Structure 1
Amino acid sequence: MTGISIAVISLQALHTPSTSSLAKRADENRNGLYNVLWGWSFCDGCRYTGICTLVTCPGNRMPSLERYFGHYKELVCSYSHDLENHRMDAVVSSHEEIFHLIRVLKETPNITRGALAKQVFGNANNMGIESEQEHVIGLAVKALTMVYSTHWLNQNAEHDNGDLVSPNWLKDTPFHAFLEGLFPMIDHPGFGEDASASFWEMKSSITGSKLIRKGGLSFSPTEDLSNHLKLNRKTGVIEIFHHTAFLKENLRITRCMEGPMGVEGSLRLGALPRQLALEALDSIQKIIFPLSDPSAVTLLQRLVIEKGFDEDCLRFEASAIREPHETNTRYLYFGARLADIYDELENPTPRGLISRWAKRKGAGHANIATIIAVIIALIFGLVTLGLGGFQAWISWQQWKHPIEGPP
């Protein structure tokens, strides 16, 4: 297999069903996953027949989490295929072992990755085993927080559009500190203010339809929350973390909690910080794709069909997940990225040949229309000159070879 990376082989393997017991038994462990993540208690119908019989049972929300669970299965398959193609000494062989990792992360969010691996797996015998332990830990972290903590897992996620150089969770870094580093809080002027005049102006300017129509931008789904609202200026693509059902479950857990709660306290409940989850959800449903705007709903429906966005993005919920005062969200985590998108709309990055040429010559993007008009006028001038010359040639031919009338 010289010259072919393990990552490429594993990515190709995702396109065929995994034959490992871990991958094949994912569906029957769905209840266990939701129980360990969010403490779901199921009714007898869910446990024994798979049909929910109580209105208050959280099992009623399973259909809305279908896209999230599908991603979990992809992660499990990526691990299973790596074993089948390259390793036979699996670090884990059951979903319960993955659930145990999630429990430890929730109970001790200040644990380092090295200490976690030692506590759960014992001492590693070689570098290969240690690398596989990192992969399995990354799988548990991804299920709990929807962020990547290892480069290998990021490269092998089938539908990931995220940054392949995202940070690894280092061996001596506490888990909560790793997450705090991924999501720094920045009180950005405009989006960081609470319903200021500049906020409303900027917010109304960056709806999805305007970003497409005026900015020539497009949207791509990402499975990594830390990549949400990242703008690639070179390609004009904005990444959207689209697992809104996952965000809503996090908000249900932290609803009615007294006082602000940091990363460490939220993780003990099995949730992301409430402010972070609110910002991610509202930036989708209130700013980029405001569900009060029919054109935004149409655009979002198209992205669900064409780009694989989670259909739950189209469902707006309030009473079950929000506090009464949570109407206008301050953007302390994603304010800088929203401002970056707004700046791109105001000062577009040249991407086409003419745009780049105009930028290099100092003409500026605002004068591109003038340049195009000059080029069009030049083309019309050349065409007119050609027609004039052709007419002159016909007149000369008629003079030189007159057509004589009948005698």
Structure 2
Amino acid sequence: MEVNRIVKSLKARRLSKIGKLDFEATHNLNEHLKLDKRKVLPELTDGLWCVRRLSRHYALEVLHSIQDVLFPPDANSQAFLRSLIREQDMDPDCTLYNRSEYELDGEDDVIYKWLGPRMMDLYEELENPTPRGLLDQWLERKSRARHVMLATVIGVFAAVFLGVLSLIVGIIQTWIAWQQWKAPPSHDA
């Protein structure tokens, strides 16, 4: 899997629209990008100033994940970010981040050492969404691998049964034809 393709697919608007994920404000930086059981994606609220107290690499991962992954500088992503700031009480400083203030020369590419597994969870959710509604859940239960295997076994038994049935019909037809050949009917009139 190409890392750039995965990272580019994790825009917040896409996660909300395609992955049907909701964003929820959090005060705990350890929950950043964490997908919980309710399929809600928490996001930062307590000011990006707290990021400065973290290890430098982790801080860069958090800042980069907010500004370059979830909310890149395109108009749709920024509009979505502003709506989350209004609706979810997210930190308005999320819109002010300037990479050049935090990065040193040569730190253009961020390697997601800590947030990588969480980003992969989000990507997996995009690729294989968890069923949300009752119909989706019912269909999911009915389409699992064991049901596919059961359908395959039933199909094999049906084919064998039809094969044996056609063999019996063939034998009967052969016997009738042999009886007619052996004693052809007479046409006396």
TM (norm. structure 2) is 0.72
CA distance in 2, matches of 1:333, 1:273: 11
- Alignment partner, residue 361 of structure 1: 142
Q: Specify which of 103, 106, 120 is matched with residue 325 of structure 1.
A: 106
- Matched AA of 1:212: S
Task: Tell me how far 1:351 sits from its aligned partner.
Answer: 1.4
CA distance in 2, matches of 1:244, 1:276: 16
Task: Tell me how far 1:319 sits from its aligned partner.
Answer: 3.2
RMSD, matched Cα = 1.7
- Alignment partner, residue 48 of structure 2: 245
CA distance in 2, matches of 1:215, 1:242: 22
Cα 1:319–1:363 shift into 2, 3 Å: closer
CA distance in 1, matches of 2:47, 2:105: 20
CA distance in 1, matches of 2:88, 2:143: 37
1:6-405 aligned within 5 A: 198-232=2-36, 234-247=37-50, 250=52, 271-290=53-72, 292-362=73-143
Do 1:221 and 1:308's aligned partners in 2 also have CA atoms closer than 8 Å? yes
Structure exhibiting the larger radius of gyration computed from Cα positions: 2
Q: Secondary structure at the match of 2:90?
A: coil
CA distance in 2, matches of 1:331, 1:247: 19
Q: Which runs of 5+ in 1 are unaligned?
A: 1-189, 191-197, 251-270, 365-407
Q: Which runs of 5+ in 2 are unaligned?
A: 146-189
Task: Tell me how far 1:224 sits from its aligned partner.
Answer: 0.6
Q: Secondary structure at the match of 1:238?
A: strand
Higher relative contact order at CA 8 Å, sep ≥6: structure 1 or structure 2?
2
> Could you list the per-position Cα deviations for residues 24-66 of structure 1 after superposition, in whole angstroms to 9, with x for gaps in the alignment?
xxxxxxxxxxxxxxxxxxxxxxxxxxxxxxxxxxxxxxxxxxx
Task: Tell me how far 1:210 sits from its aligned partner.
Answer: 0.8
Could you list the runs of 4 or more consecutive aligned residues of structure 1 that deviate by over 3 angstroms after TM superposition? Answer: none
Taking only the aligned residue pairs, the percentage that are identical comes to 35
- Alignment partner, residue 187 of structure 2: none
CA distance in 2, matches of 1:273, 1:333: 11
Do 1:221 and 1:307's aligned partners in 2 also have CA atoms closer than 8 Å? yes
